Amino acid sequence: MKNKILVIHGPNLHLLGKREPEIYGNFTLDDINNSLHENISSEEFDIEIFQSNSEGDIVEKITKTSYDFLIINPAAYTHTSVAIRDALLGINKPTIEVHISNIFKREEFRKKSMISDVVLGVISGLGKHSYLLGLEAAMISLRKNK
């Protein structure tokens, strides 16, 4: 059985490409997703990718899908969502938090993440490579636990 990696993109990430390009770059969500598909070792792992603007849908996805490793960019919910934090604690799967921008280099309110202290690691500020490094970390970690 292949291990499955779930990738969740939070609110407004469907706007990548048009959204504040000086902060988030010119690439689109499809570009990120295509790169994830290209870079995953598909003989070893399955991948599912999900985007939602709704906190409830993200909680449902985290808690009701079967997967072995989660890569999540909760976007604005990073800074506010006790519900997403509780879902991660409830399901207790290895998780990497990723951000396109460096959240520690921006407005004060972005410096606080509700989930950083309950995940395996955080990758922030490397543009679309944040996701690819998250994927690499997920594959290394899953291989180790085989």
**Structure token digits, residue 136:** 């690499």
Active site residue 79: no
Cα–Cα dist 129/27, whole Å:
11
Q: Are 94 and 71 in contact (CB under 8 A)?
A: no
In angstroms, give the least distance from the CB of 83 to ligand DQA. 16
In angstroms, give the least distance from the CB of 76 to ligand DQA. 4
Annotated catalytic residue within 67, 77, 99, 131: 99
Q: Which is nearer to ligand DQA, 3 or 101 (CB)?
A: 101
What does DSSP assign to residue 103? G
Amino acid residing at 91: I
Give me the residues paired with residue 4 across strands.
Answer: 46
Helix (H), strand (E) at residue 36: helix 29-39
Q: Which is nearer to ligand DQA, 78 or 95 (CB)?
A: 78
Site residues (CB under 6 A) for ligand DQA? 12, 73, 75-76, 78, 99-101, 103, 110
Active site residue 24: yes
Q: Which is nearer to ligand DQA, 68 or 85 (CB)?
A: 85
Annotated catalytic residue within 24, 67, 77, 131: 24
Cβ count within 10 A of residue 76: 15
Which residues form the catalytic set?
Answer: 24, 99
